[in-house]
Amino acid sequence: MAGAHARVAFHTGLYGTGKVGLVSSQAALSAFTRSAGHFAFLTTLGFALVSMAVVSISYRHDARWLRANLPYATCLASAAGLGFAVALKHYQPQYLIAPAAVLPMMLVWLGRTMQPRRRHALAAGVLLAASIGGSEYRTWRVREVTVANQVASDLRTIRMMPLEEGRIRLWSYHVSVPEYIAGFVAETSGVEDYRSMVAQMFPNDRTYNVWNGQVFLNGTWKDPVDSSWKYAIFDRKYYDSQETLPTYFREDKARVMQLQAILVVERREAR
C-alpha cells in the first residue's frame, strides 16, 4: 500500500501512471479549468484565503494577537491550500471535498477576528456563496439522479444477459453498482477475509483495472485474455464507443452494446 501511494505521489498521471514527477503543468491547468465549474467553492476559498492574509497583516504589530491567532490561521490556510493543490495534481471532483471541509472553520476564524463592521459583509458573502452553491448542487443532483436511474435500468438488463457456468463479468472504473463497488473495496483493502466474502457474494463478477489493464483473480493480477470473461462493462462517461475502449477490448471479435449509461463488451469466443 505504501508503494501504491508513493507511485501516486511521484508520477504525473492518475493513480500512479504517467511520467515520474510531482505534477504535470498541463494536467494541473486542465484540472483547474474543470474545477472552475464549482464557482461557489472556488470563490469562497479564494475569498477566505485572501481575507485571512489581510486580517493577519493588519495585526502584524500586535504580538499578543499573532501568538493567539496566527498558528490557527496558518494551519487552516495550509490545509485548504495544500488540499486544493493535491486535487489539481490528481483531479477528480470528489477530491475537492478535503479543502471544502476546511472552509467552515476558516470562516469561523474570520468571523471571530474581523472587525465588527466587516462581519456583516462576511455574512452576506457566505449567504451568497451558499445560494450559488445550492443552485449548483440542485443542478448536479438532478443530473446524477437521472444517471443513477439509467444505471439501475442498465444493471437489470446486464443481469438478465445469459452467463454460462464458469464465465465472469468484468466491471471497470466508476460503474456505480454493487458488483463493482464491493470488488473495488475488496481489492484495495488488503483484507483477505473481506476479499473472500465479496467473492462469495459475487462469484461471477470481477473488477477490471483500467490503469494496469488486468483482472484481479484468485489473489493475483492477470491479463483479461487469461480469464473466462464473457462481458466487460464500462461507464459511458469515460468509454462511449469501441474506439475509446482499452486496446484489448477493441478487438474485432468483441461485440459492443451501448445501453443508457453503460457500455457492454461481449466476448464472442469462449475460452
Q: What is the pLDDT along the chain (271 residues), one digit of tens a residue?
A: 566 666 666 666 666 666 777 777 777 777 778 777 777 788 888 888 888 998 999 899 999 999 999 999 999 999 999 888 888 887 778 888 888 899 899 989 998 888 777 777 778 877 887 787 788 888 888 999 999 999 999 999 999 999 999 899 999 988 999 999 998 888 777 788 888 898 889 999 999 988 888 888 877 888 898 889 999 999 998 898 888 888 888 875 678 899 999 999 998 765 4
pLDDT of residue 13: 67
Burial class from Cβ neighbours inside 10 Å (0-12, 13-18, 19+) for residue 133 reads: middle
Instruction: Give the C-alpha separation, 206 to 213, whole Å.
Output: 13
What residue has cell string 466491471? 171
List the strands of the sheet with 262-267, edge to edge. 220-222, 214-217, 205-209, 168-171, 229-235, 262-267, 254-258
Per-residue pLDDT at 226: 87
pLDDT for the residue numbered 208: 92
The tens digit of pLDDT for each residue in 72-97 reads 999 999 999 988 888 888 777 888 88
Say if residues 183 and 207 touch (Cβ distance below 8 Å).
yes
pLDDT of residue 120: 78
Stated pTM of the model: 0.71
Contact residues for 7 (Cβ-Cβ < 8 A; gap 6+): 15, 16
Within 8 A by CB and 6+ apart from 65, the residues are 59
Q: Assign 3-class secondary structure to 186-228.
A: HHHHCCHHHHHHHHHHCCCEEEEECCCCEEEECCEEECHHHCC
Q: What is the pLDDT of residue 271?
A: 47
Tell me how crowded residue 31 is: count the other CB atoms within 10 A of its CB.
Answer: 20
Domain coordinates of the chain in residue numbers? 2-143, 161-267
Q: Is residue 65 a contact partner of residue 115, using CB atoms and an 8 Å limit?
A: no
